[in-house]
Amino acid sequence: MKNTWTRRAFLQACGATAAVASLSSCSSSPSPNQIHRQAELQPPVVDPATLEKPNLTVGFVPVNDCAPFAIAWEKGFFHKYGLNVKLSREASWGNSRDGIIFGRLDASPVVSGAVTNARLGAEGARHFPLCAAMTIHRHGNAITFNQGLWDAGVRPWQDYQGDLPRFGQDLKRYFAQVPLDQRVFAVVLSSSIYEYFVRYLVAAAGVDPIQEFRVIITPPPQMVSNMRMGAMQAYMVAEPWNTRAITGNEGIGFTFAQGREIWQGHPDRVLAVSQTFIDQYPKTYRSLVKAMIEACQYCSRPENRAEVARIISQRAFTGAKDKYTKPGIVGDYNYGGFDDKPRWRDNIDTTIFFELPPELVQIPHDHSTFLWQSQGLWLMTQATRWGQVRELPAQADTILRQAWRTDLYREIATEMGIPCPAEDYKVEPADRFIDQRSFDPSNPNGYIQNFEIRAHRPLIFALS
């Protein structure tokens, strides 16, 4: 009887996962009549006839950071800049990236790291000239641990009050009682900032991520159901799939840390296109970026955030309940836990769309949608640190100029009356990172070598 029940439970869970995957893979846009009414609210400033390609297919993934795409569509910003956009709901971040590579999508958000890694061919990634000129948002993601980690003594990061060694001890205690094949962390895409954050975090706590657990790839809508099945013990994903897991909601896990607690101010998603798209449709590309900047500005305003959360809760976007989408957008965020202890943090910077908090503005005129090439370089150091490329390319600066088009963003933003930083590189202060290590882009190889835990590090053997 026990084996029969286990098999039945497994099949039911698989069925639920398949249903979620099926729903998420559908390319579905909201009602064309609805978009027509909303679009009329924005008088056009660009004649579609002047654009090389006014009809675009743009991807998005059903997580909170689809907000600027939903807003650009619902509020008519695409229409304002002469674009007729069909939104395509993508099942995963791999689909979102590959839709551009194989020509199915004109543009789509991709995880930070995907653009440069496509240029590098990191970890077998398909070589392709992806480009991005702007971020979609910063922050807005988190790491969820299951109840097994809680039962072993692991707690949300805020409970440790900055004590990385104590967290490392608790994590090692958990690993000591769990077989290696049951130590699985899920992320949304290989060679992405989420994978780097998972590895960076545990390495900072003294645990070797290469030796101690496996990293698997799982689409965001499948994270919760797969954790319930026991397919992974931890995952990192964008909201609302962390909030959905906590007690009071699905009750299968707790938020260990938001990504902003690992690196405050990090870029999360960028708006990607191919180099060919920019070359063949320069006017169209400028219209697309302008529409997305205005949408990010709309999402950024505190008075709009509750409305934004409601809009992305529609089935056409995340299909998640408002109580799941709202915390990551409005900032009234609950980390959860299995002890009924309140762990709320009310901070609008849980997701940053345009305006940066004052403590993050090191250089005048900085704002969230501005891409720092130095932050792209940090991502490349992580690809090197974890052995996804053999070494940091000598031409890293050239690759960054080609991939992260800060030059184009400045031109486009200037046309919109938005001032930008004059520099492309900046130092990331130590207090931005969970391990208090600063990043100086002038010495990336030295930065990599300073980490004791990394792939291909020299090993010392004692002979007796």
Note the pLDDT tens digit of each residue in 102-143.
999 999 999 999 999 999 988 767 899 999 999 999 999 999
Note the pLDDT tens digit of each residue in 148-204.
999 999 999 999 999 999 999 999 999 999 999 999 999 999 888 999 999 999 999
Q: 0.85 exceeded by the pTM?
A: yes
Positive or negative, the CA dihedral 402, 403, 406, 408 is positive
- pLDDT above 70 covers a percentage of the chain that reads 89
Distances (CA, A) of 319 to 58, 94, 196: 18, 20, 28
Which long-range CB contacts under 8 A does 321-326 form with residues at least 24 apart?
323/249, 324/239, 324/240, 324/243, 324/244, 324/249, 325/64, 325/239, 325/240
Note the pLDDT tens digit of each residue in 19-69.
343 333 344 455 444 554 566 667 899 999 999 999 999 999 999 999 999
Distances (CA, A) of 64 to 17, 61, 315: 20, 9, 13
Residues making up the chain, counted from first to last: 464
